Amino acid sequence: AARNGVQWNKAPCRFCGTGCHVQVGVQNGKVVAIAGDQKAPVNKGLLCVKGYHVGLALYGSDRLTTPLLRKGDKQVPISWDEALDIIARRVLKDPKGFGLYGSGQWTIPEGYTASKFVKGGLGTHQLDANARLCMASAVTGFLATYGVDEPAGCYDDLDACDVLIMWGNNPAEMHPVLFSRVIDRRSRGEKVTLIDIGTRKTRTSGFCDYSLRFKPNSDLAIACGIAHLLVENGTYDKAFVEANCAFRAPSSPPTLEGKAITFEEYRELLKPYTPEKVEELSGVSAKDLRMLAGLFGRRDVRITSLWCMGMNQHTRGTAINNLVHGLHLLSGHFGKPGDAPTSLTGQPSACGTVREVGTLAHALPGGRVVAKAEHRAQMEEIWNLPKGRVSDKIGYHTLEMWKRFSTPTEQGGDIHTIWVQVTNPAQTLPNTHKLVDPSRKLADKFLIVSDVYPSATTRIADLVLPSAMWVEKNGMVGNSERRTQQWFKMVNPPGQARDDAWQLIAVAHRLFALGFEGMKDKDGRFLFEVKGKDGKPVPLWDFAHYYDVNVDEHLFEEYRKTTRIKHKDLAPYQEYVKARGLRWPVVEQPDGSWRETRFRFAGFDDPYVKKGRDIQFYHSTTHDDRAQIWFSPYEPPPESPDTEFPFWLCTGRVIEHWHSGTMTSRIPQLHRAMPQAYVEMNSADARRLGVSNGDWVTVETRRGKLDLPVWIGGRGEPVEGSLFVPFFDERLLINGLTLDEHDPFSKQPDYKKCAARVRRR
Ligand code: SF4
């Protein structure tokens, strides 16, 4: 719609996984205004401080506008034609050593293009995404419990729950619009009990009825303690469990499937987790533990659990995810509005692109996995590839890919090139300097980075490619509640910046033109061929023709064919043009309309549950419609404070900045509000060290040290003996100090706990 010369159109916000919709106002080819979208069910017109300023993210003064090639110490402009040739030559050097590292900020069509490029074209699986660092343990938790990924519940649970438990989660800052849905209910007089269980007092804690602090890593003991009380007190939901659940414990050697156990064995394994023992392990009092178990044991309240990085960035991430799902299953707090265990994501399309399209080293589109021959064969059929093109060899997960890139070739470093799109690993990888050598001394390695602004990663790149962002291109994303959203290009990107999907398709075509078999289908046609209205192939690799057709629609309709196998059905593209997103599975109705699903596995809402069943876990790992209730023991973390390094160090985010701050630090209002990182300390620790607010200290771990200003009594307060540092600030790069230990199943690293010391400067 046009008002006062301003053209308005809908788009999801560019930043977090909440998936708020904004109205974007465009005038004279420029985004000039942003408003909350009143019609959007997620945010009902509200935005957070990042959302209100999202338009300004396009207009920082140092946008990348031309390809740049490293020559000595300098990066000099080159043409796209030269850039495409350079990338094609790096592929042809050895396709097996060419890695693509992407992001939960890729749109769905971009992620699908990346998957087809690597898995269908290069015939490898050297593709992983930064979502490995933020939600991989949520994925393994869902798979181990339900046999299929992604939350059963949705944001509507926040409108219906009586109790909201936030596990290591700070939605008041990280998912503020979602949190406001609950606060809004309270301000209207509804009673919602808020419980925050974490290692740091946060903005969320201030709203909570109970704010419980635990010792890092001991969340497993707390969950086992609650389960123990439910079983011993007989307050678990016997009928729900007998009808819908089975029990599981870790196997030896450890596998994601674990081993089956009986209810009696489960009960025995929980016995050591008495309230007193859990108090000793976790610091949460026996009384509070009984309070939690008491709530789970009630049938007259509805309980929603929320979590995000606190549970996922954890060397026992899969285990704690399993345990929290298990509490909901054991107590029957599942499958009714307001009764749900729900993981949140940080990035706008960690779910839609990384989890659903499958831009991970072990995955294929639509919930398929490389390990299954029938899944590989299905993708070969959909992509019209010769038999055997989709490799059976799983690629390297993120940490392994970067380790092999930073290792000399003769010492096993078999990744010679990485192409990074839409992410900033030189700032965000844990123990960064080990995984991304800032001196780039290995001459035979080559780093390509597509981005919109200069970053820690573009600065060390051999080739930098300027990307279009957000409403400078068409896009689709999928948020934390299975909601797929769509928008159209509204303004032109600056200079020669180009869509990320175009960059991949253009390289694919260059390879095709050079005779590379991988970019041909089994009939010899180009892998990304799209026909125009006249029936002739559109030369997509020539950007002048890229928008002659809606490439997103073509890619999405092809991708859509892959989504049924795991009941992640999507509607036709045009349905998303009309809607503010739809939650899958989206199923066609007899009248031709398309109906979304709010509550998966619940008979009253999920079209795939057999008629007459209240609950059906139809992707059960045990093929009997049962979900798995896991026992997983508490174990100490890989690194704990000691006399040399007596503090815990935890990293995280702040409301003003998006991830590594490359976009938000260019928005003056956000940069002024939070100009630099800091170290948050407990006031007792600060007194003991003799430091005051604003003093600079040196924070040191076994991996490095960093000077930071101190903030005491500010936005949050870590418990005594622990520190918190946000990671958005490239100049104060905290990931040089973090630990690169990871969960054994999800391969997700732990950014939330390592040992550190602090020295006054
Ligand atoms: Fe954007 Fe997330 Fe803020 Fe919503 S909560 S406006 S999606 S950053």
Angle at CA 341, nearest 5°, toward 340 and 346? 120
Report yes or no on 164 lying in a domain.
Answer: yes
- Whose CA is closest to atom 1 on ligand 1? 51
Beta strands in 591-716 (DSSP E): 594-595, 627-630, 647-652, 679-681, 696-701, 704-712
* DSSP conformational letter for 520: B
Report yes or no on 570 lying in a domain.
Answer: no
Q: Are 344 and 181 in contact (CB under 8 A)?
A: no
Distance of CA 417 to the CA centre of its chain: 24
Residue type, 493: P
> Does the beta carbon of 555 lie inside 6 Å of ligand 1?
no
DSSP per-residue codes, 333-384: --SBTTBEEEE--SSTTIIIIIIIII-STTEEGGGEETT-HHHHHHHHHHTT
Q: Give the residue among 381, 364, 122, 517 at the shortest CA–CA distance from 526.
A: 517
Residue type, 268: E
In the beta sheet, which residues pair with residue 7? 2, 26
Separation of alpha carbons 725 and 713, rounded Å = 14
Model ipTM value: 1.00
Residue pLDDT, tens place only, 208-228: 999 999 999 999 999 999 999
- Do 386 and 480 sit in the same domain of this protein? yes
| CA-to-CA dists, residue 381 to 358, 364, 387, angstroms | 17, 13, 8
Q: Residues comprising the binding site?
A: 13, 16, 20, 48, 50, 105, 130, 134, 309, 313, 424, 450-451, 473, 500, 651-660, 727, 735, 752
> Does the beta carbon of 325 lie inside 6 Å of ligand 1?
no
- Do 385 and 320 sit in the same domain of this protein? no
Separation of alpha carbons 342 and 327, rounded Å = 12
How close is the Cα of 20 to the center of ligand 1, in Å? 6
Residue type, 151: P
- Do 364 and 511 sit in the same domain of this protein? yes
How close is the Cα of 568 to the center of ligand 1, in Å? 25
In the set 23, 126, 347, 485, the catalytic residue is 347
> Does the beta carbon of 47 lie inside 6 Å of ligand 1?
yes
Torsion angles phi and psi, residue 189, rounded to 5: 95, 0
| CA-to-CA dists, residue 650 to 101, 131, 166, 203, 630, angstroms | 25, 19, 17, 16, 27
> Does the beta carbon of 632 lie inside 6 Å of ligand 1?
no
User: Which of 50, 663, 664 maximizes ligand 1 atoms within 8 Å of its Cβ, making it the mutation to test the pocket?
Assistant: 50
Strands 193-198 and 475-478: unpaired
Separation of alpha carbons 521 and 133, rounded Å = 33
Active site residue 346: yes
- Do 398 and 539 sit in the same domain of this protein? yes
Active site residue 713: no
Active site residue 347: yes
Look at residue 438 in the predicted model and tell me its pLDDT. Answer: 78
> Does the beta carbon of 171 lie inside 6 Å of ligand 1?
no
Separation of alpha carbons 676 and 661, rounded Å = 10
- 253 preceded by a cis bond (ω within 30 of 0): yes
Distance of CA 23 to the CA centre of its chain: 24
Angle at CA 277, nearest 5°, toward 276 and 280? 90
- Whose CA is closest to atom 2 on ligand 1? 16
> Does the beta carbon of 664 lie inside 6 Å of ligand 1?
no
- Do 367 and 318 sit in the same domain of this protein? no
Place of tokens 């104060």: 732
Which residue among 512, 546, 580 closes a domain? 546
Report yes or no on 595 lying in a domain.
Answer: no
Distance of CA 477 to the CA centre of its chain: 12
What is the domain-level CATH number for residue 51? Answer: 3.30.200.210
> Does the beta carbon of 289 lie inside 6 Å of ligand 1?
no
In the set 50, 119, 566, 568, the catalytic residue is 50
- Whose CA is closest to atom 3 on ligand 1? 48
Report yes or no on 198 lying in a domain.
Answer: yes
3-class DSSP state of 330: helix
Task: Give me the domain span that covers residue 275.
Answer: 136-344
Look at residue 761 in the predicted model and tell me its pLDDT. Answer: 87
What are the tokens at 568?
A: 């992640």
Report yes or no on 701 lying in a domain.
Answer: yes
Residue pLDDT, tens place only, 213-269: 999 999 999 999 999 999 999 999 999 999 999 999 999 999 999 999 999 999 999
What are the tokens at 221?
A: 């003991």
Which residue among 546, 579, 610 closes a domain? 546
Q: Which atom of ligand 1 is nearest to the CA of 175?
A: 5
Active site residue 50: yes
Separation of alpha carbons 466 and 451, rounded Å = 6
559, with CB counted inside 10 A (0-12, 13-18, 19+), is: buried
Q: Residues comprising the binding site for [4Fe-4S] cluster?
A: 13, 16, 20, 48
Could you tell me which residues come within 8 angstroms of residue 672 by beta carbon, excluding any fewer than 6 positions away? none
Look at residue 439 in the predicted model and tell me its pLDDT. Answer: 80
- Do 372 and 440 sit in the same domain of this protein? yes
Place of tokens 């990304």: 528
* DSSP conformational letter for 730: T
> Does the beta carbon of 20 lie inside 6 Å of ligand 1?
yes
> Does the beta carbon of 111 lie inside 6 Å of ligand 1?
no
> Does the beta carbon of 679 lie inside 6 Å of ligand 1?
no
- Do 143 and 128 sit in the same domain of this protein? no
- Do 45 and 147 sit in the same domain of this protein? no
In the set 19, 23, 120, 135, the catalytic residue is 135
Q: Give the residue among 35, 736, 90 at the shortest CA–CA distance from 425.
A: 736
Which residue among 546, 570, 593 closes a domain? 546
User: Which of 10, 14, 16, 204 maximizes ligand 1 atoms within 8 Å of its Cβ, making it the mutation to test the pocket?
Assistant: 16
In the beta sheet, which residues pair with residue 757? 700
> Does the beta carbon of 155 lie inside 6 Å of ligand 1?
no
Dihedral sign of CA atoms 188, 189, 195, 201 in order: positive
Report yes or no on 590 lying in a domain.
Answer: no
Look at residue 159 in the predicted model and tell me its pLDDT. Answer: 97
What is the domain-level CATH number for residue 692? Answer: 2.40.40.20
Could you tell me which residues come within 8 angstroms of residue 591 by beta carbon, excluding any fewer than 6 positions away? none
Q: Give the residue among 372, 374, 376 at the shortest CA–CA distance from 385.
A: 376
| CA-to-CA dists, residue 4 to 30, 34, 36, 581, angstroms | 15, 15, 18, 28
Look at residue 389 in the predicted model and tell me its pLDDT. Answer: 97
> Does the beta carbon of 55 lie inside 6 Å of ligand 1?
no
Q: Which atom of ligand 1 is nearest to the CA of 178?
A: 5
Q: What is the number of domains present in the chain? A: 4
Q: Which atom of ligand 1 is nearest to the CA of 19?
A: 7
What is the domain-level CATH number for residue 233? Answer: 3.40.228.10
* DSSP conformational letter for 693: T
- Whose CA is closest to atom 6 on ligand 1? 51
User: Which of 14, 20, 169 maximizes ligand 1 atoms within 8 Å of its Cβ, making it the mutation to test the pocket?
Assistant: 20
- Do 111 and 251 sit in the same domain of this protein? no
Report yes or no on 432 lying in a domain.
Answer: yes
In the set 154, 224, 309, 519, the catalytic residue is 309
Q: Which atom of ligand 1 is nearest to the CA of 14?
A: 1
- Do 45 and 84 sit in the same domain of this protein? no
Angle at CA 709, nearest 5°, toward 735 and 428? 15
Separation of alpha carbons 388 and 368, rounded Å = 16
Report yes or no on 562 lying in a domain.
Answer: no
Separation of alpha carbons 626 and 318, rounded Å = 19
Give the helix/strand (H/E) hosting 223.
helix 219-232
> Does the beta carbon of 15 lie inside 6 Å of ligand 1?
yes
Low-confidence residues of the chain, pLDDT below 50? none
- Do 93 and 50 sit in the same domain of this protein? no
Task: Give the other-Cβ count within 10 Å of 41's Cβ.
Answer: 17
Q: Which atom of ligand 1 is nearest to the CA of 177?
A: 5
Place of tokens 């990663």: 457
Q: Give the residue among 415, 417, 372 at the shortest CA–CA distance from 390.
A: 372
Look at residue 3 in the predicted model and tell me its pLDDT. Answer: 84
- Do 47 and 126 sit in the same domain of this protein? no
Separation of alpha carbons 62 and 59, rounded Å = 8
3-class DSSP state of 691: coil
